[in-house]
Amino acid sequence: MRRKTRDLRAKDLKRKTNDAARLTSKVSCLKSSPWLSRAREVFAVEIEGLKKTRDSIGKSFTDAVKLILDATSRDGIVVVTGVGKNLHVAEKMSAIFSSTGTRSIVLNPVQAMHGDLGMVSARDILVALSFSGESDEVLKLIPAIRRHGLKVISLTGNPDSSLAKLSDIHIEIPCGKEACPFGMAPTNSVTATLAMGDALAMVLIDARKFSIEEYAGNHPAGAIGRALVLKVSDIMRTNEKLALVKPTATVMDAALAMTASHGGSAIVVDRAGKLKGIFTDGDFRRVMATSGSGKDSASPLVGVSSSSRSGKDSASPLVGASSSSRSGKDSASPLVGDSPLRAPVSRFMTAKPSFVYSDAYAVDLLKIFERKRIDDLPVCDRKGKVVGLVDLQDLPKMKVL
């Protein structure tokens, strides 16, 4: 019986050893996999293609922007067309135009020849995509488009192509070879054409002075929409959730105000309610950590809080201690004593902190939090009076992050 058990254990150990060896072999193969090498080659080809296309941008690009601006100033729209993979590129390009203030539609060249030409008018402009510049469906569309009075901008990889010659303006996409091993599947050319469309759209934003408010109007849904549509006043903490103290308040007063508001900071304001500084729970911990003699270096608030939880002095000895410190009585209190709890909060606050106006958009909040790497941001009205506070933890709840 024992021998049988030993044999089973030996077989199990051997199996686990073999499994581990196979796993190690797979990991080793993965690190040196020709698939990964090939994938990196694709990235290298397309990155190089983007660089070549970027460096080729010149007069034809600016002429195209002017032509589009002229069409849209006459209430025209940008009609984007292509066939095969370029039809998908056209859909994306048209979408980015529309969302950034340049009205646009996609025109399938095949369907256009069977009635969809009725969607366009002489005030519109056509952007035709064909890397070879020889796509039959697109070439057949151009004469019909001309009869409707539209001008044509083409994006191709061949400036001597039929489509380039039929266009009013031609933008070359000199990205080089495709990443496909056969040199056939649209890969590098698609990436470069997409990037050129993005470049046109972004330049048009600047040229039309398209505002963030207009962009917000086109994106009412999703996290992007909420960040653009919601204002700071919709998110900020106010009333009992807002801890406000005067510069003469003690550190103890600030700590109590933070506790009462269930927040991580107290905003220091002058008599007129204007922002003077901010005192955070991190500031409080640093004050207490540097004030002790080495023994019981943990904040004395912790000990008192424990006694209040035990059921005694349910009115919270913190409040009593703060009151007595203000009245001058019980100066030998073990809670306060000569500790910085009696010192004015203005000594430890961050003066002139970053703030945001209440009528700003939530997207502005995200930029400030990312740039400043802070957790709490005071909110002021246009007169400089503090009206609220935004805690970074509130943004996920509002589905802004």
Task: Determine the pLDDT at residue 232.
Answer: 85
In-domain check, residue 260? yes
Provide the token pair at 107.
Answer: 């025109």
Domain boundary at 148, 175, 210, which? 210
Task: Determine the pLDDT at residue 160.
Answer: 97
Task: Determine the pLDDT at residue 342.
Answer: 87
Q: Give the mean pLDDT of 121-128.
A: 97
Measured in degrees and rounded to the nearest 5, phi and psi for residue 361 equal -90, 155
Residue range 302-334, pLDDT digits in tens: 333 333 333 333 333 222 333 333 333 333 333
331 and 379 in a single domain? The answer is yes
Contact 196, 173 (CB under 8 A): yes
269 and 382 in a single domain? The answer is yes
Number of domains in the chain: 2
64 and 128 in a single domain? The answer is yes
279 and 328 in a single domain? The answer is yes
Q: Could you tell me the pLDDT band of residue 298, with boundaries at 50, 70 and 90?
A: very low
In-domain check, residue 10? no
CATH code, 183 = 3.40.50.10490
Residue 321 CA, distance from chain mean position: 46
Could you give the residue ranges of the DSSP H alpha helices within 209-344?
Answer: 212-217, 222-229, 232-235, 251-261, 281-289, 300-309, 317-327
Q: Give the mean pLDDT of 108-131.
A: 96
Provide the token pair at 219.
Answer: 């994106």
Residue range 233-273, pLDDT digits in tens: 888 999 999 999 999 999 999 999 999 999 889 999 999 99
Task: Determine the pLDDT at residue 341.
Answer: 87
Provide the token pair at 160.
Answer: 């001597």
Bridging pattern class, strands 376-380 and 386-391: antiparallel
266 and 192 in a single domain? The answer is no
The residue written with tokens 């009725």 in the block is 118
Task: Determine the pLDDT at residue 223.
Answer: 64
CATH code, 250 = 3.10.580.10
Task: Report which listed range, 23-32, 211-220, 353-362, is most confident.
Answer: 353-362
In-domain check, residue 36? no
Task: Determine the pLDDT at residue 365.
Answer: 78
256 and 371 in a single domain? The answer is yes
- Sheet containing strand 376-380, edge to edge, reads 356-357, 376-380, 386-391
86 and 135 in a single domain? The answer is yes
150 and 294 in a single domain? The answer is no
In-domain check, residue 227? no
In-domain check, residue 258? yes
* Domain of 326, in residue numbers: 233-308+316-397
Task: Determine the pLDDT at residue 317.
Answer: 29
In-domain check, residue 31? no
Provide the token pair at 271.
Answer: 């008599």
Domain boundary at 195, 210, 225, which? 210
DSSP 8-state class, residue 170: E
326 and 246 in a single domain? The answer is yes
In-domain check, residue 140? yes
The mean pLDDT value of the chain amounts to 83
In-domain check, residue 298? yes
Look at residue 398 and tell me whether its pLDDT is greater than 60.
no
144 and 183 in a single domain? The answer is yes
71 and 204 in a single domain? The answer is yes
Residue range 31-49, pLDDT digits in tens: 568 999 999 999 999 999 9
190 and 291 in a single domain? The answer is no
